[in-house]
Structure 1
Amino acid sequence: MSPPLLAATRRCPNLMAARRGPPAAPSKASPPLIRATAVAHSFGRPPPLRSRAKAAQMRGRRSPPPRIRATAVAQIHGDGRPNERATAVAHFFGSPPSPRSRADGCGGRRQWRPTVRGGRRTNNEFISFESGVDLNGQFWKEKPNTPNLPQLKVEATEDITEDIVANTLRRAITFHSTLQAHDGHWPGDNAGPMFVMPILVIVLTITGALDAVLSTQHKREMCRYLYNHQNRDGGWSFHIEGPSTMFGSVMSYVTLRLLGEGASDGDGAMEKGRHWILDHGDATAVTSWGKIWLSALGAFEWSGNNPTPPEIWLLPYFLPFHPGRMWCHCRMVYLPLSYLYGKRFIGPITPTVLSLRKELYTVPYHKIDWKRARNKCAKEDLYYPHPHVQDILWASLDIAVEPVLTHWPGNKLREKALRTVMDHIHYEDENTHYLCLGPLNKMLNMLCCWVEDPNSEAFKLHIPRIYDYLWLAEDGMKVQGCNGSQLWDTAFAVQAIVSTGLGEEFAPTLRKAHAYIKNTQVLENVPGNLDLWYRHISKGAWPFSTADHGWSVSDCTAEGLKAVLLLSEFPAEDVGEPLDAERVFDAVNVILSLQNNDGGFATYERMRSYSWLELINPAETFADIMIDYSHREAEVESCIEKAAMFIEKMQAKDGSWYGSWGVCFTYGTWFGVKGLVAGGRTLSNCSGIRKACDFLLSKQLPCGGWGESYLSCQNKVGTFESFVCAFSLVLIRQKLYSQSVMFEYEDLLVVSNVYDLKLIDID
């Protein structure tokens, strides 16, 4: 099986004509073609001057005029299954986002609409688009019967009536319904980290598949994404919002070079990026993950890495530091990394790699002290400093253990360990349909399959699933942090629509969402001995994204279950048949099985070890990654009460909860209050809910909204700025305080019940 052919052209109607032509036909070995369209619009402010000049240079044209309207259309390849059709549409309105200033706004709306076998796949490729086609309002054109309700403006002195609120809710749901994919889910951009795309590009470069997998247009859009997110000082961040780091800068710079950018290209951007790296200690100060990936590429020496021995997978499971006891994301990344380290694998040394050896370091490559570079890390990246015990451990392994394992007869043990690691890699690949848990272990597993056998079927099966991770937006093409958040977003969309009391009016939308949620539920456990493969039960669970992904997640299962239970209260002729009772019981069983001894719930698997395992966490940029922290009536009641007590125990003194994912305190407080309400707490009998009210009201901004910066999560101290989504979370949280209790805060009275929310000015 050959990789899908990615022939592409791109058209910008307001610019000078580009070279165009019909898309190349797929090879005979390619899977059946599934038709799809993807449209990208960018209106308003032009991109930064540097990226504009660079884009013009790449297209052989002068810089574009101030207003741009760019279109790109995609085709989607299937995986060989017959009779599959798909449509993917991406729209972007407003100013292109700029990494320079928050004042640029939200960056517009974006949408990507794949529909293949229940939303299992997202494969895309650019083709040309006919000139003169008007793509404005494409969502409305696709659904011509969608009502266009008038916007009602309310003066500051005017009363907010129930009719006004209902009209606003109808307009919001109507618009949101137009963003729904044909298979029922709501697609969205799930990117942000800057270190994900580099792994893909490095792996494709090493395996020689870069040009076969990524067309010229893919590369161009990826370069545009990296240029758009370069900071003013020339560096790149760990993620798109942050200050420059060595990890982000080195990986982004290397990616641009591998994508074909010269050392002096980008209207000075490449030189600025290189100067930032050299001025901050050069690439020897990159984090441990960067060191390993550069070593595989050939731009860093393996002797400059701390040991990641694959033999750890041969240790008995009862040891608390066995990798099978680690958090799955940590475990599944270090699994392929240990294979590459055990092999000391180095890819082909190309002229670009030789050039990078000169560009990334302040001293000649052959004079670098690689032993000293092992524990060197730029201060900008040092979020989690290594404890001394870890340095002693790595040094001991390098001095006393590695020489034994790399020479006879110890190398026989290494060979066995490498075979064991590859068995686990193949198991993960096959049971996620080559999507894998996330993009990092997906790309690394793909590389390991190629190292084991460049012509292997496993490597070839990895190629088509790369496109599930690609996302085209107004800032360029990126690699997402997962293959999407389809189930997660769809479950919340259903709950939001139902909570307005307008569900019957939007039955077609709910019907499609219901079908998607039911199709995404995991129906069987992964095969084989779960203990042998260190997996938890998954039958009845819901994953974060798609059915093919298949990894069970506790909160996704809870939200998916809530959505189908809400929809079961509607007539079947409106929203479809309710979920079978046995499948509901299976979901409850998974949730119960994931509760830890302390009453909290793990994400993917129960906590399997101890928090002191963080002492051997080798990742300088991540903390708390080594373990997964945390139908039968009596057991369910006990489970709920233990969980509610755990939530109360985790509440901070100021009334907030720390949320581990992104928006942090507002997000965590939303779920904290939801959990307490589900546990029978109310505003009148629970001081925790009252403290949460006080906390959120104290954080309301002068504009009337709520919001947070990513710094809240990183620094564990609230950093607040307004966003519409955070404001919505606060309103939803207020709605959940009591199903029938009227309560007062200052000059705002909130009347709350299951399907109604009224804001009444007391005065």
Structure 2
Amino acid sequence: MEGASPTASNRISQYAVDLRAKARAAVASTCDWLLSHQHADGHWCAELEGDSILQSEYILLLAWLGKERTEIARRCAAHLLKQQEPNGAWTQFPGAPIDVGSSVKAYFALKLTGHDAAADYMVRARNAILEAGGADKVNSFTRFYLALLGQIPFELCPAVPPEMVLLPNWSPINIYRISSWSRTIFVPLSIVWAHRAARDIVEDVSIHELFIRKPEDWPELRCPGLEKPAGLFSWDRFFRTADSGLKLLEKYGLRPLRKRALRQAQQWMLDRFQQSDGPGAIFPPIVWSAIALRTLGYAEDSPEIQYCLDHLERLVLEDGETTKLQPCKSPVWDTSITLRALAAAGLGLAQEPTCRGVEWLLSKEVRVPGDWTNNVDCEPGGWFFEYENAFYPDNDDTSMGIMALADQLAAANITLEVHPGETLANTSVVVGGRGIAEQLAGSSAAMMEQAAAATRRAVAWMVAMQNKDGGWGAFDKNNDAEFLCHVPFADHNAMIDPSTPDLSARVIESFGRLGVTIESPGKLGDTVRRAVAYIRANQLSDGSWFGRWGVNYIYGTWQCLVGLRAVGVPANDPAIEQGKLWLLAHQQACGGWGESCETYEDPSLRGQGSPTASQTAWALLGIIAAGGANLAEVVHGVQYLMDTQREDGAWDEIEFTGTGFPRVFYLKYHYYPIYFPLLALAEWNRATARS
């Protein structure tokens, strides 16, 4: 403040002191809110909200089972009406343009549950769908639902041959070359495709009025963002030719391996029912597994089908007069971030609630092999996202779990550190500390040992999961066969699971929390250095980074700044400076930050959107990590969070700031506007106290 008068400087200093006092009060209020929402066994889990397809696809499943007029179907239909936009459409997130597939499924679900096609809301829906191109423009998954209910022939769905489960791992095309979420859908869907068990419905509830052209004249299916290539050879042409060839073989019954393939697909699916909240622990594969089992001849009251239906029912939430479904549940994720935020606020293992949270998190460590073992040789470790999903731990939850343990221990003056060796075999994780550490060592020695062992396994697992480009994907290693995105079935835009900068930065952030840096020796140091090179290479020219798992460039830039700084990249590094400047340039006049899911469709909109508590918190955390805690813009952002905080300590947020599949499916994490602002305010308090 060069040139400021002593009186002005005193006013500024007093303002800073007052603001920090208010921030501490805001932090305490949010801590109280979170502690009041903790489950009895120690964990946290908020609602995870998706779009209308969850209700409509559930109704379509019920309709295929002959239960479209049940009470739960009626209540789901009522929720669809709540989600309808004023123009009659259904969208991927609030305020988005029409999504034709979502709108067609919602309209069909409403007709099936008895809604009059002449009703005003149905007329508006029909007009919106036709204006957007009609049912002709739906994606492959919607086509399968339409085929199941007799609206189009199965031949117009992409080929999903069960014989693919027979292909060995060394084959360029096999089920382990596609992403885990696609794999858990593909296998049951291949059984459905082979049996083609359609239910005929009465004409009164058909949706042929939404067809502009005959279904056989509908456009080709293609992954969003991919154009039809020119030239004699392309992967697009190759897979369309293969699709036609498979359907021709099907037509003439030339499928000598079909029985063997169906047996193996069935067993593969049933094996993944174990230690899981349903196959894949997410909504789509649970639905398709129920349908697949029924087509295989399982009775509806069989334990296997009831297993699927029961897990779908666990995703149900009652909402007044309506019913909605979640795509899955997020307890490990919510618990890990909550524990980190509480630790930043000073609530560590010395407090009974957070101690219970740590015990619960440790109980969810993965200790059995999963699909990842097909190309990774490593002891099982890490964490998954849901209550149970042992086949599918992921790098995101694993890195967040490590940081939750480290932060909770640190809040109790206990260190959790990696001592890198030349190889992972002679790398150790040790627990140490002073003060309260001695008190805990007597009563919680077993927990300390468990935390250290779980951390060692998690670190080794993530090192083994690093991709050849230096980054990390979510569930698999080197799952980056881009040519598979040209398969007609791949139009859900999630066929592969390649490295992404946001997730890669979170992994190295977790390593940094354990004391690993770009200067560390041995295997761990090499792992971090390769990751830093990958993150640098993926920084955009304007200084931002893409966010695969959160919306979007604000999310990616925050995480990359925090990750790079955690492993010792200095604050004056050009990459850090550019990322910080990009965030500062996109602060809004109110002091907050916001960005829309539309940025996945149109990157020129990056950094723009209605300000939200969660995205403001991400921006603040990124700038603070980059050394900007005392900037006026940060103070303004902190003030924005405090001005918008509710009296009960939480924040309101209607926007979707989570990403499922870019351009296809988005998420609203109901705790994002709670624990991320808490983490940002607590970190700002700590950073400014030091300075």
Tell me, yes or no, whether TM beats 0.5: yes
Confirm or deny that 1:602 pairs with 2:457: no
Amino acid at match of 1:552: P
Q: In 2, Cα distance between the equivalents of 1:471 and 1:385?
A: 39
Question: Which of the residues 535, 553, 564 maps onto 2:394?
Answer: 553
The CA deviation string for residues 630-685 of structure 1, in whole angstroms up to 9 with x for no partner, is 5996211111121122112211122211101232111111110121012211213x
Conserved? CA contact 1:752–1:758, under 8 Å? no
Confirm or deny that 1:350 pairs with 2:221: no
Give how far 1:692 is off: 1.7
Q: In 1, Cα distance between the equivalents of 2:156 and 2:255?
A: 21
Is 272-281 or 687-696 further displaced after alignment? 272-281
The CA deviation string for residues 256-278 of structure 1, in whole angstroms up to 9 with x for no partner, is 2233333234xx11222123333
The CA deviation string for residues 60-113 of structure 1, in whole angstroms up to 9 with x for no partner, is xxxxxxxxxxxxxxxxxxxxxxxxxxxxxxxxxxxxxxxxxxxxxxxxxxxxxx
Note the 1:353-752 alignment, pairs <5 A. 355-361=205-211, 369-373=214-218, 375=220, 383-387=225-229, 389=234, 392-393=237-238, 395-397=240-242, 399-408=244-253, 410-455=254-299, 456-473=302-319, 476-482=322-328, 484-503=329-348, 507-526=351-370, 530-531=373-374, 539-548=380-389, 551-569=392-410, 570=412, 572=440, 577-578=447-448, 579-616=450-487, 618-620=489-491, 622-623=492-493, 625-630=495-500, 634-684=522-572, 686-717=573-604, 718=606, 719-737=608-626
- Which residue matches 1:324? 176
Is 158-167 or 296-305 further displaced after alignment? 158-167
Is 293-302 or 278-287 further displaced after alignment? 278-287
Conserved? CA contact 2:188–2:285, under 8 Å? yes
User: How many pairs align?
Assistant: 582
Q: In 2, Cα distance between the equivalents of 1:575 and 1:176?
A: 27
Conserved? CA contact 2:64–2:149, under 8 Å? yes
The CA deviation string for residues 296-350 of structure 1, in whole angstroms up to 9 with x for no partner, is 1212211222322222333343232323211111222222222222222212x13
Secondary structure of 1:176's aligned partner: helix
- Percent of counterpart pairs with the same letter? 20
- Which residue matches 1:85? none
Is 398-407 or 493-502 further displaced after alignment? 398-407
The CA deviation string for residues 365-417 of structure 1, in whole angstroms up to 9 with x for no partner, is xxx7443226279xxx9654454646644553455443334445x23322332
Conserved? CA contact 1:677–1:737, under 8 Å? yes
Conserved? CA contact 2:159–2:489, under 8 Å? no
- Which residue matches 2:47? 189
Conserved? CA contact 1:228–1:475, under 8 Å? no
The CA deviation string for residues 158-191 of structure 1, in whole angstroms up to 9 with x for no partner, is 8525433322211121122212222222222212
Is 172-181 or 383-392 further displaced after alignment? 383-392
Higher helix share: 2
- In structure 2, the CA distance between the partners of 1:626 and 1:713, relative to structure 1 (3 Å rule), is same
Q: In 2, Cα distance between the equivalents of 1:224 and 1:549?
A: 35
- In structure 2, the CA distance between the partners of 1:743 and 1:178, relative to structure 1 (3 Å rule), is closer
Conserved? CA contact 1:538–1:551, under 8 Å? no
- In structure 2, the CA distance between the partners of 1:720 and 1:414, relative to structure 1 (3 Å rule), is same
Gaps of 5+ in 1: 1-153, 363-367
Note the 1:202-217 alignment, pairs <5 A. 202-208=60-66, 216=71
Q: In 2, Cα distance between the equivalents of 1:628 and 1:334?
A: 18
Conserved? CA contact 2:24–2:685, under 8 Å? no
Give how far 1:441 is off: 1.0
Q: In 1, Cα distance between the equivalents of 2:311 and 2:633?
A: 54
Secondary structure of 1:577's aligned partner: helix
Note the 1:143-162 alignment, pairs <5 A. 160=18, 162=20
The CA deviation string for residues 508-542 of structure 1, in whole angstroms up to 9 with x for no partner, is 33123212211222122249x943xx898682211
Confirm or deny that 1:238 pairs with 2:89: no
Q: In 2, Cα distance between the equivalents of 1:705 and 1:156?
A: 23
Give how far 1:240 is off: 4.1
Give how far 1:556 is off: 0.6
Conserved? CA contact 1:567–1:575, under 8 Å? no
- In structure 2, the CA distance between the partners of 1:551 and 1:394, relative to structure 1 (3 Å rule), is closer
Confirm or deny that 1:757 pairs with 2:645: no
Give how far 1:709 is off: 1.2
Conserved? CA contact 1:514–1:564, under 8 Å? yes
Give how far 1:756 is off: 4.4
Question: Which of the residues 77, 89, 113 maps onto 1:259?
Answer: 113
Q: In 2, Cα distance between the equivalents of 1:429 and 1:276?
A: 40
Conserved? CA contact 1:306–1:374, under 8 Å? no
Amino acid at match of 1:447: I
Q: In 2, Cα distance between the equivalents of 1:712 and 1:480?
A: 24
Conserved? CA contact 2:165–2:264, under 8 Å? yes
Question: Which of the residues 31, 36, 51 maps onto 1:178?
Answer: 36
Q: In 2, Cα distance between the equivalents of 1:395 and 1:584?
A: 46
Confirm or deny that 1:275 pairs with 2:127: yes
Q: In 2, Cα distance between the equivalents of 1:481 and 1:701?
A: 32
Give how far 1:427 is off: 2.0
Amino acid at match of 2:330: S
- In structure 2, the CA distance between the partners of 1:576 and 1:666, relative to structure 1 (3 Å rule), is farther
Q: In 2, Cα distance between the equivalents of 1:251 and 1:535?
A: 39
Give how far 1:458 is off: 1.3
- Which residue matches 2:5? none
- In structure 2, the CA distance between the partners of 1:518 and 1:399, relative to structure 1 (3 Å rule), is closer
Q: In 2, Cα distance between the equivalents of 1:549 and 1:246?
A: 35
Q: In 1, Cα distance between the equivalents of 2:55 and 2:276?
A: 20
Secondary structure of 2:458's aligned partner: helix
Amino acid at match of 1:445: S
- In structure 2, the CA distance between the partners of 1:390 and 1:239, relative to structure 1 (3 Å rule), is farther
TM-score (norm 1): 0.69
Conserved? CA contact 2:621–2:683, under 8 Å? no
- Which residue matches 1:127? none
Q: In 2, Cα distance between the equivalents of 1:373 and 1:242?
A: 24
Task: Please give the root-mean-square deviation of Cα atoms over the aligned residues, in Å.
Answer: 3.5
- In structure 2, the CA distance between the partners of 1:662 and 1:559, relative to structure 1 (3 Å rule), is closer
Note the 1:110-149 alignment, pairs <5 A. none
Confirm or deny that 1:313 pairs with 2:201: no
Q: In 2, Cα distance between the equivalents of 1:465 and 1:386?
A: 40
